[in-house]
Structure 1
Amino acid sequence: MKIPQFIRANLLLKMTSLNAVVITIRLIVSLFIQRLLAEIVGEAGISKIGQLRNLSQMLTSISSVGIFNGVVKYVAEHKENKEQLTKLFSTAFFFTVIGVVCCSLILYFGADHISEYLFGSNSFSYLIKLISVTVPFISMQRIFNGVVNGLSMYKQFAKIDLFAYLLSAILTVTLLLNYNIDGALIAIALAPVIQLLVLLFIFFKVLKEYVQFNKISFKAPMGKSLLAFTTMSLVSTVLLNYVEIDIRTMIVNRITEEDAGIWTAMTFISKNYMVFSGAIFTLYVLPKFSSIHTRSGFTKELLNIYKTLLPIFGVGMILVYLFRDVVIQIIYPDFTGMEPLFKWQLMGDFIRLASLVLAHQFLAKKLVRNFIFTEILSLALFYILARYFTATYGVEGVVIAHFVRYVIYFIVVFLLVYRYFRKQASKD
């Protein structure tokens, strides 16, 4: 089937349409898996899965020392300069070795304590030790993924994303049916291994062209440049997942583990449609903003992104809200009390999308202070408001906090981005 001309003429729309196919397939598979999980492990099991996924996301950032966005930026800028790329990957190798060794040792020797903190008992310490072995795969997959994104190879990215997800889904279903909650958790722990193998299988020839492995040394010539991204990533990813773990634990302690599972299920649905935007940010938005240096150029591109993405997401979210009862019946039939969470989660996610497009200017221009300030503000608002609203509204209070947090975040990010351009104009 030929892609219509108006889509082919718009790179963002072209990426979005291709990504939509991948996300649709992922969504269908995810619905099946989430339904199976809901029936077999229940709300309490979903809560445990949420804890492990948050830990995995923290490790994704820490094991690669948070340099993913830096790799994307500098690959996009220096893809024709082999010397600069060698410096970049030497630094990435240096950083990731440190990150991998630290993470693996802490996970292996602190397995009992980490299991107790995440799951309320040390019975899952074997799982934490297993994850300590997979840390190198997590780190390598993250760095190589940065190369794919930096080159804006959206077709290859779509293939890697889809095949890796389908193989992980098969592993999850197989282990879940045979070993219940333990099997589901083990599948999540092994997912990075599958993702890396698929990435190498599809992308290795291109990878060899840009990453000259024989010239990589254990040095960090671009250390200072990448450390800015380290700081930004560790603040956003690590703190975000820590806050989510803490809020889930708070729900368990204040209300019930079942309510924690209901909120986690709501975030799973949210992440299924928000993942649609993740590839667009790294494949298109970040490289594009990196190459724009004027306020007029930025404003034009921002409006183009908003005109393309926001209507698509808006219509999708309205449909999810209108058919929320059907969604609950299909995916989480026994999760009573989930319906009131939809409106706040969806409104918050829509504003979040608009905010994150703007906030990628901080990453593109390495505005470290602005990025850290807005991320800490966002997380602090979520943490404080979730605790405050939960006391009055129960588990619904967490998604109300999610909405309020992003309204304030959007306003602050908007003001800071345009303050940056005013400063740039005054220098000229």
Structure 2
Amino acid sequence: MLKITSVNAVVIGFRLVISVFVQRILALTIGEAGIAKVGQLRNLVEILKSVSTLGTFNGIIKYVSEFKDSREELDRVFSTTYVFGVIGSVITSTVLIFVSNSLAIKLFGSEEMSDVVVILAVLMPVLVLIRFFNGIINGLSEYKKYAKIDLITYVMSTLLLLLFLKFYSLKGVLLAIILTPVIQLGVIGSIFGAGLRRIVKVNSVRFKIPYYKQLLGFALMSFVSTVLINYIEIDIRTSITNQISEKEAGYWTAIGFISKNYMVFSSGVFTLYVIPRFAKIYDGSRFKKEVVYIYKTLLPIFGLGMLLVYIFRETVITIVYPNFTGMEPLFKWQLLGDFIRLATLVVSHQFLAKKMTKSFIVTELISLGLFYFLSKSLVLVYGAEGVVMAHFYRYIVYFGVVVFAVWRYYKINMNSFYNG
């Protein structure tokens, strides 16, 4: 894990520097309203990543990790994901094209952006391939190559974004975001093409779904964790815009971008280390030791980093988001919520590793329900600050629910073991 941490630390360092530079330019050129619209598009893309693959990403990670030495099982898994990808991308592309005008108005407030939605629809097969290949790379724990792919893609997509911003303003930024998967596909092919050809035998892939039952569980989990949360964020951002102002929506989106920049490190560790590791642990005491080890390794680093961000929050705003002074009150609640969220995510990844579909869905629905209804209530009183307050309160409850669910899982399984 320390090797993974060091490699990802280098990547996240470069990403942070580049991201600060890009966000500053965006803040100065497209303002709070533009930042809010960028947030809407990013949420839409995340929804489409899940829907177009029918939520099989974490399933690919799990089964590639388990069956990397079994050619027959891998072929069965890849055949199923291939069928899911074809079905998901065709349906998603068709729907997007038909609703492009109304979706553009809902997300961006103008039909002028409908061609952005249409281009995104055309690129659905690329999104599917990216998710499929990333799942394989993560399942094989090829963390060095994953970090290299991630960094090169980020640099190239940033250059494209700046170029399009110069010539096409906000619309150019949106176009650059949806063209990023094309860049990533090219980078993956250049760096890991041979590895993919070795593990994915195209001639052995059939239009069959032998693993559909196993992968449907992951599809349900992905729907709850990815589709619902991103839809809720779109809805909340729209509510802030309509009930308060687009400026406030921009502030909340900006604090979310800052959060995602430092949380991206943890997501890399989870997909490359935690899920494959937890998938091989069947004993409660070993699981507890692993969680304690991750907490001792990861949480102090993040806690210190978050404390520094809070102390120097005014400097962060000046550097990253000039003139976004209205977002200063959001830092406290966002950082507290993110710290508890990180502690919770470590434990909750057991749901994915062990395909605890029911536990995952129930706990996520509780979390999302709390966030949605608290946000809707608090935003009327506190504005955008109410949403980050809801973020904090939600994760306090969610942490307790997740710990209880995992404890119950091991208690039931150990009792079954001892009772024969």
Counterpart for residue 251 of structure 1: 240
What's the CA shift for 1:233? 0.4
Out of 43, 47, 50, the residue aligned to residue 32 of structure 2 is 43
Counterpart for residue 77 of structure 2: 88
Counterpart for residue 292 of structure 1: 281
Counterpart for residue 236 of structure 1: 225
Out of 2, 10, 27, the residue aligned to residue 16 of structure 2 is 27
| Alpha-carbon displacement from aligned partner over 1:84-139 (angstroms, at most 9, x marks no partner) | 11111111100000000011101112101111221222221010001011111111
Counterpart for residue 157 of structure 1: 146
Out of 152, 165, 180, the residue aligned to residue 169 of structure 2 is 180
Alignment-mate amino acid for residue 97 of structure 1? V
Out of 315, 325, 343, the residue aligned to residue 336 of structure 1 is 325
Alignment-mate amino acid for residue 54 of structure 2? V
Counterpart for residue 326 of structure 1: 315
Out of 7, 31, 51, the residue aligned to residue 18 of structure 1 is 7
Does 2:179 correspond to 1:204? no
SS for the counterpart of 1:58 is helix
Instruction: Give the fraction of aligned pairs with identical amino acids, expressed as a percent.
Output: 55
Alignment-mate amino acid for residue 116 of structure 1? I
Pairs within 5 Å for 1:90-109:
90-109=79-98
Alignment-mate amino acid for residue 47 of structure 1? A
Alignment-mate amino acid for residue 378 of structure 1? S
Counterpart for residue 48 of structure 2: 59
Alignment-mate amino acid for residue 15 of structure 2? R
Counterpart for residue 364 of structure 1: 353
| Alpha-carbon displacement from aligned partner over 1:302-350 (angstroms, at most 9, x marks no partner) | 1111111101111111111111111100011111211110010001001
SS for the counterpart of 2:207 is coil
RMSD of Structure 2 on Structure 1 (CA): 0.7
Alignment-mate amino acid for residue 363 of structure 1? L
Length-normalised TM-score, structure 2: 0.98
Counterpart for residue 340 of structure 2: 351
Counterpart for residue 305 of structure 1: 294
SS for the counterpart of 1:71 is helix
What's the CA shift for 1:390? 1.3
Pairs within 5 Å for 1:378-397:
378-397=367-386
Find the aligned partners of 1:407 and 1:110 in 2 and give their Cα distance. Answer: 38
SS for the counterpart of 1:337 is helix
Does 2:101 correspond to 1:112? yes
What's the CA shift for 1:415? 0.5
Alignment-mate amino acid for residue 84 of structure 2? F
Does 2:112 correspond to 1:123? yes
What's the CA shift for 1:199? 1.1
SS for the counterpart of 1:189 is helix
Find the aligned partners of 1:113 and 1:374 in 2 and give their Cα distance. Answer: 33
Does 2:176 correspond to 1:193? no
SS for the counterpart of 2:325 is coil
What's the CA shift for 1:378? 0.8
Unaligned runs of 5+ in 1: 1-11
Moved more, 142-151 or 387-396: 387-396
Find the aligned partners of 2:245 and 2:56 in 1 and give their Cα distance. Answer: 38
Find the aligned partners of 1:148 and 1:107 in 2 and give their Cα distance. Answer: 29
Unaligned runs of 5+ in 2: none
Find the aligned partners of 2:27 and 2:319 in 1 and give their Cα distance. Answer: 10
SS for the counterpart of 2:326 is coil
What's the CA shift for 1:54? 0.2
Find the aligned partners of 2:376 and 2:220 in 1 and give their Cα distance. Answer: 27
Alignment-mate amino acid for residue 266 of structure 2? S
| Alpha-carbon displacement from aligned partner over 1:34-62 (angstroms, at most 9, x marks no partner) | 00100110000000000000000001111
Alignment-mate amino acid for residue 358 of structure 2? R
User: How many residues are treated as equivalent by the alignment?
Assistant: 417
Out of 192, 204, 212, the residue aligned to residue 223 of structure 1 is 212
Length-normalised TM-score, structure 1: 0.97
Find the aligned partners of 2:200 and 2:289 in 1 and give their Cα distance. Answer: 34
